[in-house]
Structure 1
Amino acid sequence: MDTIMIRLLCLSSVLTICYGKEIVYYIAIDEIDWPYKHADQSETVFRKAAYQEYKDQTFTTRKPVTSQHGFLGPTIRASVGNTLRILVKNNARRSFSFYTDNLNTQKNETGAVSVGSPVSPGSVLTYVYTVTDANGPSAASMDQCVTSLYYSDVNPIKDINTGLVGMLVVCKTDSPTSVREIFLHYGTMYERESWFSSVKSTNDSQQTVFPTINGYTEGNMPDIDVCLNRKVRLYFTSLGGQNDIHTVVLYGHQMEVRSQRVDAVNLYPGATVTAEFLTQEEGAWLLTTQHVSGNRKHTVAANSLKTYYWSVPDDVGPTLFDELCLVRHYTSGLGHSNDTFLFGPVKICAEGYMQTAPKETDIFVVYRQMTTSISNFEINGVPPYTLPLVSVCLEEIVNTHIMTFGTAEPQSFSVDGNVIKQRGHVLNVMEAKENSMTTYTITMTKTGNWTVRNFRNENISLTLSVNECGTSSNFILTGKVTTRNIGIKEDYWGYSSLSDWTSKLPGCQMGPRFKKAMFVEYYSNLFMFETRQPDPRDETLHGPQLAANVGDRITIEIKNNGRRPYSLHLDGLSDWSDDDSIPWDSSKIITWNILESIGPGSADTSCILKPYYSKTSQRDIPSGLFGPLVICSPLIPSETVESTLQQKVFMVGSIDERASWYYEDNLKDSTGIVNISDPKCADANVIRAVNGYSDGTIKNMTIPLGADVYFHFLNIGNNLLTIHLYGLKIIDSNQEGIGRSTITLYPWASKSIVTRFDSPGSFLYEELITEGHTTRISGLYTVVTNTKLS
């Protein structure tokens, strides 16, 4: 059956006939036994529930699918202007649902408004959707189709790990396409989180976590046949845990994503990526997330010489939408462990560029974790503290090409005192991708010695020495001058008002109150009276929300009432002298000139978020010393810039109380006995919170109707984080990590979006991962009428 279907697909890709404007799908939720096959071909079988398509409303005859489809649900297709009617029958033992981020349910058969209405066992529910322009590719997008996930959302973590996930494709038109389409879902299945976790497997294997493609693990997905000289479109989706990052490589091929040339596709939980390539050479090509078993006929024997010839055709160079140069890397291709260093960079530029190229500074940073090294990490093959200073000039632009190797954990690098940019976006950190070079530009705005440092580990760094070189920093004050009085104080903070806090994991959970150090604002430089919110539920763990337009100046008098030295720093604004720590009971005046270079980039929203923080130690941030500065274009009115209704800040992530300066104090003050030596307690006190509130206890955010509202997100933790926003469609962005209803953040990364709500309602936002934790990130925002924008 697979061979026949593949031949048909090679001749032409036939779409579901949908010219009648209404498309009907018959989908059942069936219980199945799914075998995870291992490298040695042994199997571990688990009970799953899966979406399966049937031919008609009798739900008796299944529609055939290729074996590569695995337990992924059927691909649902629609075009703009269609009505999509999906009949879902639940043949499982418990209630499940059908939900997709990209479509709003119009009504169910009873006439009730429905978003993910559950289907009880044995019943059928009809979901009806009207597909509009907002559901398809944007008018400016080069893509003809966009894809998204559908899944059961009765309990998303358990439902998805039970197996209920599939893909939805929405196209601009319903015209047939000759492009071969392949659907690949990367998902880590946590069988302990499944509803069927009590059902034992067919053997006594202890493995319960399975990284899969369409349900297949350890390279056992059946091969995919495609035709020569045919354009192939790959639809990638992903779900998984907090470190579930996939760098997907197709050997022997470059791909295009959003009309830009890439040698690897980066996937995050909740991500959907469409990539295209043209098949140009026959052969078996590996699609993998690992750099490995290359063609051994091209190897170089020991103590011998071989000459390689690499052609550079147009289809590996920059597109019209790329930078003028792309950076790739070469490897041995035969597989290399963490203890070898067989790779290097290749720079591929547009034709003629090398002859007219301006003088550029390129820095290549390859970070890897080692298995035999004493330090366990290296940059460019040597311990970081042995790297020499890199000398650059003020206002010089430095191209920084960065990647990781040997680590599945997300690694992000900040650049103290300077500004990071990529494709018109001003960024907080450089996100280092596994096995794939990513290019950023660093603009030198301040003189001094500045570190490019790993956010997760301050010992992993290299130093940039920035000199004037005859150039002086040029700031022209065109806006207003604001004076703020900010103090650092010690106080107690409760992440949750729920009464079951310490019962989450008895014997492990500290709290419910935690001693913290926090930035607070005062009415005057006497530092006697704090500016407090009228409603205590509006108080946040983070410091006061500061705001400015490009061209403004902010003068801050900072006083440290903490028990140890702290500081106040903001990358790109703070001077070298500002890095001096402020002793206890001392104060200091800091001036921030809001340069154009640190404001919104050409591809950014008109307002972006930059965090300020104490940087005397990496323990300062988990202790509580961080806060937001909103920076807007000079064209944005100051009343919008300073409005806490229009500028919504989400400082989200995992706060590791074990890394706090007050860890020992909080351990002693905890209710009940906490056994920190118990292995099961390892992550119990890594608290997942939004603005300091966990488990949905944050006050409902109020959103004004009919006005531009900026959502600013900052990941304050050490793990990758994906936030799912219900009731919100995000405009297509070329910034990595921004999906149609999700925001993915590397550690200390910030991203901003702007939206406008035209109808009232209350909507949920929450962390989108498929592994459970003792605490969770979630909250509600409500769009209301007649709200003053202040």
Structure 2
Amino acid sequence: MPRKQLTGCILLLTFLGLPGLVGAVTRTYYLGIVEEYWNYVPQGKNIITGRSFTEDKLATLFLERGPNRIGGIYKKAVYRHFTDGTYTTEIAKPPWLGFLGPILRAEVGDVIVIHLKNFASRPYSLHPHGVFYNKDSEGALYPDGTSGRNKDDDMVPPGKNYTYVWPVREEYAPAPADANCLTWVYHSHIDAPKDICSGLIGPLLVCKEGVLNRYSGTRTDVEREFVIMFTLVDENQSWYLDENIRHFCTDPDSVDKDDAVFQRSNKMHALNGYLFGNFPEPEMCVGESVSWHLFGMGNEIDIHSIYFYGNTFISRRHRTDVVNLFPATFLTAEMMVENPGKWMITCQVSDHLQGPVIKAEVGDVLLVTFANKADKVYSILPHGVLYDKASDAAPNIDGFLKPGAHVKPGETFTYRWTVPESVSPTDGDPPCLTYLYFSAVDPIKDTSSGLVGPLLVCKKGVLNADGTQKGIDKEFYLLFTVFDENLSRYLDENIQKFTWRPFSVDKEDKEFVKSNRMHAINGYMYGSQPGLTMCKKDRVSWHLIGMGTDTDMHGVYFQGNTIHLRGTHRDSLALFPHMATTAFMQADHAGIFKVFCSTLHHFTRGMGQIYEVNSCGNRDPSEQPYGMIRTFYIAAEEVEWDYAPNKNWEFEKQPLDAGGERHGDIFMNHTENWIGSQYKKVVYREYTNGEFVEIKARPPREEHLALLGPMIHAEVGDSILIIFKNKASRPYSIWAQGIEDMDSGKGLQVPITKPGEIKTYRWNVPKRSGPGPSDPNCIPWVYYSTVNFVKDTYSGLMGPLITCREGILNEKGRRSDIDYEFALLFLVFDENESWYLDDNIKKYLNKDPRDFKHTDDFEESNKMHAINGKIFGNLQGLIMSEDTMTNWYLLGIGSEVDIHTIHYHAESFLFKIDKSYREDVYDLFPGTFQTIELFADHPGTWLLHCHVSDHIHAGMETTYTVLRNIDNRIPYSTKSPSGGSSYPATVPSNEQPGKEQLYFFGKNLGPRGAKAALVILFIMGLLLLIATVSLSLRLHSARTQMAYREVQSCALPTETL
């Protein structure tokens, strides 16, 4: 072969071979934003009950048009899928997707290219979760300091086009323990809450390599897949509300958009945009594998406990039939279909006293004989087991005659439930899974009347002959719920029997309604539950169950001892309606302790009990030796705190509404009746020594702590000594969760420090206070004042405590295994509950608190939706260099509104339960704390915010910055995009982590990029080596032939011989 041809073939093979080696595919989509009218009830009736809407009073509220009612049809903007750039031929989608956009799929290594055209009447954009993007493809409007091309992606005007490019990089890949395809979404992000409520949202699936068909893009690993969004679609937040009023209300001029009943009529509790069973039925066959991609969106009330009747599934290695969804929660559930029939999918948040415990092992058959001795019709419906239609107690949706669904007074019915291998706890589950059973004739009224009980499904061989668990000394069952006696079937009887003047009771009176909501554990309040006793070292299994409404968000906290959850150490867990969980405890600290709901309003209303740990001859933990003593000098002092010293964020990001106002005005503006953004508060501050004269300066890496107290670090085996001075004007204390408190003794009272006093508090860090086997190297807790837990917290007294494995901290008490760490508290500070409310009214409103009227607007203006005490982009100091490992300690405290779904733009992270799982949104609840691990490798300034709609509008947003490394000198911006405080111009190289860098064609590559570049270079080098050897052999052969011909031509003449 000629030399040029040979070289050309080698180069061609090289470049053709590289894409095949990488396996990347460019997946191109043509999406159009179109406006259309959407019908929430296309079948015109309630499919679940079979009744028309004229027969259903509740349905009429949402679906019937009237002078000031829109009805069930609304104008919306939606994403539609087209074949090409002409946008003339739409690609059909399955009807069950509703108004969601098309399913976008990609594998790790692929590149998603979206050609978006806006056919709507106003600007919109396209922002993804779960994939990489540069600034010009983020699709989100916020003050990030960009301009030009990097700003054009923020909004696409009507009639215009824009192309978004999203590479699916390795760091966004599903983790090994994740499902094959992770559930994400894409949505418009100009004003995300309003854009999403208007209809602009769709699913995005990111899969492991080899899962998708290379050409069709469909999955090869499952027979079926379905996507469902559970949300309360708030049409009051839609951009098209005024149009819908004009078009559908028969007397639009009579509409009061602030009227509570009108607003309620526009809140659609929908699955993909369908109500009352109008969701087109997803069909599947027995034996098929099904992947359910589930996600939530919306507001504080969007707490959804999704129950799959008839079959179980696995989510994050956990067997269950219920999952909990919150705004921007994304889950993948994997089901192997086993039980034929038509089954319901419902949200079990109902708007509950325990029955007997039922236990079963895998392989058992349960025969449950139910004798209805009450005077109402009831039933029993279980979670976690299988049953056929003859034992189905669900409402009649499939035409089957089911006597077990309506057991009349005086009748008896026997249910048959089976426990096959398919419902067994997984390897990642505890030996026994906690479920519940309940009456389903009217789930709301029945559970409010008390008909609920615990059901345990155990692995084979776990139970003793008497039904107790092997290896467990004590079992306790706790049901957390707000029993709403107003919904009980026995309300009228209770009024007649227990009120002094029954005839005078107004069942609609607000105070009467409030008095009937019992914040109870097992039907007991204020520590009246008997029987919660154990010995030290007992192996205790706690079976915890949640029931109720969207306010039943419970942070279950165990004082004095920690619990073990799937390989992690905690002292609290989150519990929601129809969710049940199992936690293990081996108490090492004797005494009388509380178990209570740390949701602040539930705590104050009696949702707490006492459990007692007796020594029973075991050695007291105070005798155990502890090593290093870490001493901190901390004071409580009063300050003037500004939640938003800089107002630029609000003005740049939030446009004026039709009334000339912004969402943030009520929190930011100082008016005659609004305090504004400045408040008197009390905070923890660290001092250099026990003189308490000089405050210890915070280094730049701790600037982000803002309102929080100092970050306290300790290792397992350490003792923490807190020298605490109260420099405030009222009594306070300091106490931490998760540790062994040496000052409270065996009682419940933490020592109080009066104003001007100094007290010493000592906390030990036993092994159970450190990371569990599945935890990261360090885990977070919080410390706070306990004189009045609620008021002290809202007044400002809290800080982070970080406990680590042995050997993690350096000689300065900082972590040596990572490059950066950040602690973030997401809390709606209710200044109405602060000790200093009267002081703030006096100072900032110049009014007498005794005469000042507390209106609803005033109270709302005092609820600051803050990150570390800052709102609207005012939190500073979240700065790191690229290609560094960061840990973020997410801290949840607060009340029912403190459901926070924390979203990091441009980066994904791992969080650990039993294994590591990939996300870019983390669900945080009161009383829960979590470490997430984020490798920062994408330079830029990026949005960090809570994804709950109301919290976005109230300012629970900030930015974090990943700085590009240049010659080991990290330039810091002297001012954040929103105009905050300044930072040092440079950071010395000796303060930066010793990460090796590779410069490739002028680009600084991190470890992953460097590895990929080296692999490509190695392959090219190998091919070039082969080419060189082949060419050398060819040249050698050619020269040999040439030499031979020359020898022949120079041969001796034979004629002369």
Give the TM-score of the pair, scaled to structure 2: 0.69
1:460 matched residue in structure 2: 607
| Greater shift in the superposed pair: 483-492 or 617-626 | 483-492
Kindly provide the CA deviation profile for residues 190-243 of structure 1, in whole angstroms up to 9, marking residues without a partner as x.
223222233233136542322321112343322222223322211101111123
Q: Secondary structure at the match of 1:658?
A: helix
1:554 matched residue in structure 2: 720
From 507, 528, 531, the counterpart of 2:693: 528
Q: Does 1:333 align with 2:361?
A: no
Contiguous gaps of at least 5 residues in structure 2? 1-21, 42-52, 54-58, 65-70, 138-146, 214-219, 250-254, 256-261, 351-393, 487-514, 648-664, 970-986, 994-1057
Query: Which residue identity is paired with 2:827?
Result: G
2:1034 matched residue in structure 1: none
Kindly provide the CA deviation profile for residues 278-325 of structure 1, in whole angstroms up to 9, marking residues without a partner as x.
222332111001277267421433112222332211111212221111
Cα distance 1:565–1:683, how it changes in 2: closer, same or farther (>3 A)?
same
Q: Does 1:495 align with 2:643?
A: yes
Q: Does 1:573 align with 2:740?
A: yes
Cα distance 1:302–1:431, how it changes in 2: closer, same or farther (>3 A)?
same
Cα distance 1:451–1:539, how it changes in 2: closer, same or farther (>3 A)?
closer
Contiguous gaps of at least 5 residues in structure 1? 1-17
Q: Does 1:148 align with 2:184?
A: yes
Kindly provide the CA deviation profile for residues 625-678 of structure 1, in whole angstroms up to 9, marking residues without a partner as x.
111111111131326852697221111221111111112221222247797543
From 420, 425, 436, the counterpart of 2:563: 420
Q: Is contact 2:946–2:952 with CA below 8 Å preserved after alignment?
A: no
Q: Does 1:408 align with 2:580?
A: no
Query: Which residue identity is paired with 1:35?
Result: N
> What's the Cα RMSD here?
3.0
C-alpha displacement of 1:156: 1.4
Q: Does 1:132 align with 2:239?
A: no
C-alpha displacement of 1:739: 5.7
1:625 matched residue in structure 2: 797
CA distance in 2, matches of 1:722, 1:87: 29
Q: Does 1:168 align with 2:204?
A: yes
Q: Is contact 2:794–2:830 with CA below 8 Å preserved after alignment?
A: yes
Cα distance 1:90–1:449, how it changes in 2: closer, same or farther (>3 A)?
same
1:13 matched residue in structure 2: none
Larger proportion of helix: 2
Query: Which residue identity is paired with 2:548?
Result: G
2:941 matched residue in structure 1: 762
**Structure number with larger C-alpha Rg:** 2
Q: Secondary structure at the match of 2:448?
A: coil
Kindly provide the CA deviation profile for residues 265-287 of structure 1, in whole angstroms up to 9, marking residues without a partner as x.
11121111111222223321110
1:269 matched residue in structure 2: 327
CA distance in 2, matches of 1:658, 1:218: 39
CA distance in 1, matches of 2:894, 2:916: 16
CA distance in 1, matches of 2:887, 2:929: 13
When the two structures are aligned, how many residues end up with a matched partner?
772
1:584 matched residue in structure 2: 755
2:78 matched residue in structure 1: 50
Larger proportion of strand: 1
Q: Does 1:601 align with 2:768?
A: no
Within a 5 Å distance, the mapping from 1:5-154 to structure 2 comes to 21-37=25-41, 39-40=59-60, 42=64, 43-105=71-133, 117-138=154-175, 140-141=176-177, 143-154=179-190
Query: Which residue identity is paired with 1:483?
Result: T
CA distance in 1, matches of 2:614, 2:174: 46
Query: Which residue identity is paired with 2:940?
Result: G
CA distance in 2, matches of 1:101, 1:222: 27
CA distance in 2, matches of 1:621, 1:550: 27
Q: Does 1:727 align with 2:870?
A: no
CA distance in 1, matches of 2:846, 2:189: 35
Query: Which residue identity is paired with 1:638?
Result: N
Within a 5 Å distance, the mapping from 1:182-581 to structure 2 comes to 182-201=226-245, 202-203=248-249, 205-206=262-263, 207-290=265-348, 293=395, 296-298=402-404, 299-336=406-443, 337=445, 339-355=448-464, 357-369=470-482, 370-372=484-486, 374=516, 376-409=518-551, 410-455=553-598, 456=600, 457-458=602-603, 459-474=606-621, 479-498=627-646, 504=669, 509-533=674-698, 540-571=706-737, 572-575=739-742, 576-577=744-745, 579-581=750-752
C-alpha displacement of 1:560: 2.1
Cα distance 1:285–1:538, how it changes in 2: closer, same or farther (>3 A)?
closer
CA distance in 1, matches of 2:781, 2:755: 26
Q: Is contact 2:567–2:914 with CA below 8 Å preserved after alignment?
A: no
C-alpha displacement of 1:339: 3.2
Q: Is contact 1:640–1:646 with CA below 8 Å preserved after alignment?
A: no
From 637, 654, 676, the counterpart of 2:809: 637
CA distance in 1, matches of 2:769, 2:93: 51
Cα distance 1:349–1:70, how it changes in 2: closer, same or farther (>3 A)?
same
Query: Which residue identity is paired with 1:612?
Result: Y
CA distance in 2, matches of 1:583, 1:293: 60
Cα distance 1:574–1:20, how it changes in 2: closer, same or farther (>3 A)?
closer
| Greater shift in the superposed pair: 374-383 or 479-488 | 374-383
Kindly provide the CA deviation profile for residues 542-562 of structure 1, in whole angstroms up to 9, marking residues without a partner as x.
211111122222111112233
Q: Secondary structure at the match of 1:619?
A: helix
C-alpha displacement of 1:389: 5.0
Cα distance 1:132–1:115, how it changes in 2: closer, same or farther (>3 A)?
farther
Q: Is contact 1:389–1:463 with CA below 8 Å preserved after alignment?
A: no
CA distance in 1, matches of 2:327, 2:633: 40
CA distance in 2, matches of 1:227, 1:741: 33
CA distance in 2, matches of 1:632, 1:155: 40
Q: Is contact 1:318–1:324 with CA below 8 Å preserved after alignment?
A: yes
| Greater shift in the superposed pair: 605-614 or 126-135 | 126-135
CA distance in 1, matches of 2:437, 2:82: 47
CA distance in 1, matches of 2:668, 2:925: 31
Q: Is contact 1:46–1:199 with CA below 8 Å preserved after alignment?
A: no
| Greater shift in the superposed pair: 748-757 or 733-742 | 733-742
Query: Which residue identity is paired with 2:471?
Result: P
CA distance in 2, matches of 1:642, 1:133: 30
C-alpha displacement of 1:247: 0.7
Q: Secondary structure at the match of 1:120?
A: coil
CA distance in 1, matches of 2:928, 2:325: 16
Taking only the aligned residue pairs, the percentage that are identical comes to 27
Cα distance 1:116–1:177, how it changes in 2: closer, same or farther (>3 A)?
farther
